[in-house]
């Protein structure tokens, strides 16, 4: 098992003089400083789903390995046939998938072949069973039949020695299918990224406990743990820590022995009770990025005992949006994959909005039956119900813009952030 080097303590530092950071600049900085933090190990194909390839896979053999028939029918050499009615003597026996025909097929002769059967020597063309009349030891069909008809060439899908999948691919069911088809079994992958989720704040109470009127239930932790797991990472519940710097230090020390990266929510700004940013600052590795984004803004980024920490805003809506916009692509890189820009779609707006210049805005949205984007009735970042209502986000660029119904807007489904 190979271990990559840890991130540098100052990797999140912004250039001198930077105050407000545009979303694109924040993305560029993350792309420039992040690298995989997960170990590389060999695993069997059946245990590789959801992992990122650590090395490109070269096909041990071709797919298909031999020329074969694409249909049930009769095989022969096209050179021995022509136009008009063709009558060929039929050899005894057959070629079936997994049971090849023994011996060659002489020119001017035919043999029974089934779908998937390797083509016998002397056969380069197959005529469909439905187009043939068979009587005894002869068959008849109308020619000409195009040479190579109804056959698959050896390696027409993948040639032996060709690169099947490049390093950095996250292995899906269809990727495992092609690896299996070319005979790849033991493959080098990154270990699954372990993401710890930690909530902070005196006002937070765990779900299932009792809460006083001045307290709130912890919505962030179940939300973020579920999202992390949905992305295919190992989600580790680090629990909740009150506004106590000593307790937070102990919890981060514990996390550094358990996980590869931590998502915290709350305490990411610069106030008296913002202990996440303060504690990371004591370690000399914190940067509080003031992102030009709505909802959101403060994003505390730091390294704790070699472990990257993403300090999210405490507001659930802002925490969710910042997780999608910043943590999702960053986690892919940390896990061994490539930075991924979410796929968005230009659709008509089903709403009106006057946006001021300065911040990029993400509106909770979903598509109507006519394919237009409607947005939640309130932009208030405390409206968690808007997240449950929405299926995605409408992204509005940094500059000023006036939107009326029918104007094109960029809609990004939540699933695109995976």
Taking the domains of the chain in order of start, what are their residue ranges? 20-38+221-323, 43-63+156-190, 68-152, 345-417
Full-model pTM: 0.88
Q: Is the pLDDT of residue 158 over 90?
A: yes
For 256, residues 6+ apart whose C-beta sits below 8 A from its C-beta are 304, 305, 306, 307
Q: In the chain, pLDDT over 90 holds for what percent of residues?
A: 76
Q: What is the predicted pLDDT for the residue at 271?
A: 47
Q: Is the pLDDT of residue 416 over 60?
A: yes
15, two tokens: 């250039």
Q: How many CB atoms lie within 10 A of CB 225?
A: 18
Q: Name the average pLDDT for the chain.
A: 92
Radius of gyration (C-alpha) of the chain in whole angstroms? 30
What is the tens place of the pLDDT at every residue in 285-307?
667 788 999 998 788 888 888 89
Separation between Cα atoms, residue 223 and residue 320, nearest integer Å: 8
Three-class secondary structure of residue 347 per DSSP: strand
Give the confidence band of 214 by pLDDT, cuts at 50, 70, 90: confident
Buried-exposed string 374-402: b where 16+ CB fall within 10 A, e elsewhere: bbbeebebebbebbeebebbbbbebeeee
Give the confidence band of 242 by pLDDT, cuts at 50, 70, 90: confident
Q: What is the predicted pLDDT for the residue at 17?
A: 64
Domain 20-38+221-323 has CATH 3.40.30.10: no
CATH of domain 345-417: 2.40.340.10
Helices and strands in the chain: count of H runs, count of E runs: 8, 29
Q: Which CATH number fits domain 43-63+156-190: 3.20.20.80, 1.20.120.1200, 3.50.50.60, 3.90.105.10?
A: 3.90.105.10
105, two tokens: 């097929």
For the residues 203-213, what does the mean pLDDT come to? Answer: 80
Q: Sign of torsion, CA 294 300 303 304?
A: negative
DSSP state of 124: -
What is the tens place of the pLDDT at every residue in 357-377?
999 999 999 999 999 999 999
CATH of domain 68-152: 2.170.190.11
């Amino acid at each position: 098992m190979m271990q990559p080097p840890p991130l540098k303590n100052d990797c999140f530092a912004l250039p001198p003089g930077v105050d407000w950071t545009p979303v694109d600049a924040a993305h560029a900085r993350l792309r420039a400083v992040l690298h995989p933090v997960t170990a590389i190990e060999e695993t069997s194909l059946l245990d590789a789903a959801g992992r990122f390839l650590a090395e490109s896979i070269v096909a041990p053999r071709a797919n298909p390995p031999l020329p074969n028939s694409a249909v049930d029918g009769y095989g022969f050499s096209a050179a021995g046939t022509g136009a008009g009615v063709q009558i060929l003597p039929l050899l005894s026996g057959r070629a079936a998938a997994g049971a090849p025909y023994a011996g060659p097929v002489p020119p001017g002769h035919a043999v029974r072949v089934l779908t998937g059967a390797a083509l016998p020597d002397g056969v380069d063309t197959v005529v469909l069973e439905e187009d043939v009349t068979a009587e005894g030891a002869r068959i008849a069909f109308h020619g000409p039949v195009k040479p190579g008809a109804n056959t698959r060439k050896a390696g027409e899908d993948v040639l032996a020695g060709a690169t099947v999948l490049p390093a950095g691919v996250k292995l899906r069911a269809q990727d495992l299918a092609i690896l299996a088809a070319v005979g790849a079994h033991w493959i080098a992958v990154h270990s699954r990224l372990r993401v710890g989720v930690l909530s902070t704040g005196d006002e937070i109470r765990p779900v299932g406990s009792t809460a006083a009127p001045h307290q709130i239930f912890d919505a962030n932790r179940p939300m973020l743990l579920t999202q992390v797991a949905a992305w295919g990472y190992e989600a580790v519940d680090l629990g909740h820590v009150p506004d106590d710097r000593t307790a937070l230090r102990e919890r981060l020390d514990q996390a550094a022995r358990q996980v590869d990266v931590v998502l915290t929510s709350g305490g990411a700004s610069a106030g008296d009770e913002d202990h996440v940013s303060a504690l990371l600052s004591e370690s000399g590795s914190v940067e509080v990025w003031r992102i030009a984004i709505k909802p959101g803004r403060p994003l505390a980024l730091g390294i704790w005992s070699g472990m990257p920490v993403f300090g999210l805003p405490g507001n659930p809506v802002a925490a969710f949006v910042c997780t999608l916009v910043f943590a999702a692509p960053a986690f892919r890189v940390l896990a061994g994959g490539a930075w991924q820009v979410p796929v968005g779609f230009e659709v008509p707006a089903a709403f009106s909005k006057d946006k001021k210049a300065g911040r990029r805005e993400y509106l909770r949205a979903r598509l109507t039956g006519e394919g237009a984007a409607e947005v939640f009735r309130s932009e208030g970042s405390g409206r968690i119900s808007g997240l449950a209502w929405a299926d995605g986000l409408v992204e509005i660029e940094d500059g000023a813009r006036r939107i009326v119904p029918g104007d094109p807007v960029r809609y990004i489904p939540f699933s695109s952030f995976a």
